[in-house]
Structure 1
Amino acid sequence: MERILSLQDVRFTYTPDDPDGRHAVDGVSFDMHAGEWIAVVGHNGSGKSTLARLMIGLLFPQEGTVGLFGDTLTEDNLWEKRSQMGMVFQNPDNQFVGATVQDDVAFALENNGIPFEEMTLRVQNALKQVKMDTFLDHEPQHLSGGQKQRVAIAGALALRPRLLILDEATSMLDPQGREEVIRVILDLREKTGLSVISITHDLEEALLADRVVVMNGGRKFAEGTPQEVFLKGEALTELGLDLPFAMRLSALLGEQGIGTEPGTMTERKLVEQLWTLRSNR
């Protein structure tokens, strides 16, 4: 598969003149291929948000390289590479600039000189993809949190990115809003094969990814499938991360002599096991 992102021994510190300054990102390497969903998880201060800024060229590493779409990211090709990426941040209110939903989604397209007729089609298609096409003339500030993030995703999708980066995009949402956004991402991946990187502390969200990268103290602590990473159990909780709810409940049931499968990660799988145990009694 095509490699669209590559980090090679990347290091970055916010205090380069301090010989004892701690690296916010310290020797991180991993690759991403087209169509993948990678979740980058870690507690506050682990380096995951700095990593996101390095990926999109808001920061450049002092050591190592960031590769995007086959080329090393530099100041010379920054805008060309960034035009192939979409970014959705934690607080959707900070991203709105238009008076209406359609004005907001069209903003970046106007800046890129997209002709009006094509721009109109892109706006309508992007809003339809996130199921917000009936809100064209609504004012963004009157939308719910989940609706606002869906509009922010539409703004990114209208640019037709090859890579979508979500930086804590669900952290400020209530459970319903979080479910709305995750459902949109899953649907887009299924229909378009969109590549996604989600920077998150929500391990339930990370369960949906193809691969998980765990950050701690600026370093890559672990990398693998959700199953491989979350089976580390106590090692993750010692970093200040919660295990998925189904894993915690499965462990508690085991302490009570109810034998579910070790490492059960989803509530659906856990319910199926409990029904099987009940039926076999």
Structure 2
Amino acid sequence: MNEILSLHDVSYTYSPQETEMRKALEGISFSVYDGEWIAIVGHNGSGKSTMAKLMNGLLFPQNGEVRVLGETLNEENLWAIRSQMGMVFQNPDNQFVGATVQDDVAFALENNGIPFIEMVERVHDSLAQVKMEKFLDSEPHHLSGGQKQRVAIAGALALKPRILIMDEATSMLDPQGREEVLTTVQRLRQETHLTVLSITHDLEEALLADRILVLNDGHIYAQGTPDEIFSRGEELIELGLDLPFALKLSKLMRANGIDLKDEHMSVQGLVNDVWTSNFNK
């Protein structure tokens, strides 16, 4: 596996002139490999947003280094490296600058000097990838929440990035919009080998990841597969996190005497277990 992004002993402290007068991150080290989906979770103030800013060069570490595609991120190579990273933020309305969907997707391409004919092709291709090609001339602000985020993803994909960073990208969406976005990202990852970094409060989103990093007060508290992380149960709740709905329901059902073979992370797994254990005898 090829390392595509890494933090090595990274620390960052906000200065007294800034709003947060505290050590946001201390001694953070981890690696992300090509094609992985990594979810970063933690309570408010754990350092998630600061980590996102460090990974895309909005901030530079005061100690340690951030390496992207084999290079140490610095002011000299910042723009070249950023061209390989797509960002999708919490509120899609804050990202829109074009009068129409196609204008918005083309904006970053124009800024990067992409020739017109290639730009048109990329706009159409990226919108087709997120199944929004029928909305070329629509005004972004008239779209649903899930559609807006898919357009934001198309804008990132048009730059042909190696890495997609989603910073609470589904937190403002209703369940249907959230499912649209996550299904899109899953499919894109399978089709294009895209590396995904998802900073999220949504545990159902975190379950889709290959690995989860749990941040707590500026440190990496734990990392592992979703099964390894959520098996910690009450330990996570004490950190201000929650457990996936299916896992909480599994625990409650077993505590009330319902026969289950296991505790489940997914609703489908729980439904199958209930069916085979109790109704298919």
Q: Report the TM-score range of the alignment, normalised by the length of the smaller protein.
A: over 0.9
State the one-letter code of the partner of 1:155.
G
SS of the counterpart of 2:169?
coil
Compute the displacement of 1:279 (Å). 3.6
Consecutive unaligned residues in structure 2, runs of 5 or more: none
Number of residue pairs the alignment of both structures matches: 279
Is the 8 Å Cα contact of residues 84 and 161 (structure 2) preserved in structure 1? yes
Aligned counterparts of 1:252 and 1:258: Cα–Cα separation in 2: 9
Is the 8 Å Cα contact of residues 231 and 263 (structure 1) preserved in structure 2? no
1:185 corresponds to which residue?
185
Mapping 1:70-85, distance limit 5 Å: 70-85=70-85
1:171 aligns with 2:171: yes
String of CA shifts for 1:16-64, please: whole Å, max 9, x gaps: 799xx53101111110010000000111111001000000000011111
State the one-letter code of the partner of 1:54.
L
- TM-score, normalised to structure 1, is 0.97
Is the 8 Å Cα contact of residues 37 and 211 (structure 1) preserved in structure 2? yes
2:57 corresponds to which residue?
57
Mapping 1:247-266, distance limit 5 Å: 247-266=247-266
1:42 corresponds to which residue?
42
Consecutive unaligned residues in structure 1, runs of 5 or more: none
SS of the counterpart of 1:223?
strand
Compute the displacement of 1:280 (Å). 5.3
Q: 1:280 to 1:102 in 2, by over 3 A?
A: closer
> C-alpha root-mean-square deviation of aligned residues, in Å?
1.3
2:30 corresponds to which residue?
30
Q: 1:261 to 1:11 in 2, by over 3 A?
A: farther
SS of the counterpart of 2:260?
coil
State the one-letter code of the partner of 2:215.
M
String of CA shifts for 1:226-254, please: whole Å, max 9, x gaps: 01011011110011111000110000011
- TM-score, normalised to structure 2, is 0.97
Q: 1:62 to 1:263 in 2, by over 3 A?
A: farther
2:94 corresponds to which residue?
94
SS of the counterpart of 2:93?
helix
1:138 corresponds to which residue?
138
SS of the counterpart of 2:159?
coil
Aligned counterparts of 1:102 and 1:27: Cα–Cα separation in 2: 42
Is the 8 Å Cα contact of residues 259 and 278 (structure 2) preserved in structure 1? no
State the one-letter code of the partner of 1:213.
L
Aligned counterparts of 1:261 and 1:79: Cα–Cα separation in 2: 52
SS of the counterpart of 2:166?
strand
Q: 1:8 to 1:263 in 2, by over 3 A?
A: farther
Aligned counterparts of 1:119 and 1:80: Cα–Cα separation in 2: 18
Is the 8 Å Cα contact of residues 251 and 262 (structure 1) preserved in structure 2? no
Aligned counterparts of 1:98 and 1:126: Cα–Cα separation in 2: 16
State the one-letter code of the partner of 1:33.
Y
Percent identity between the two aligned chains:
66
SS of the counterpart of 2:28?
strand
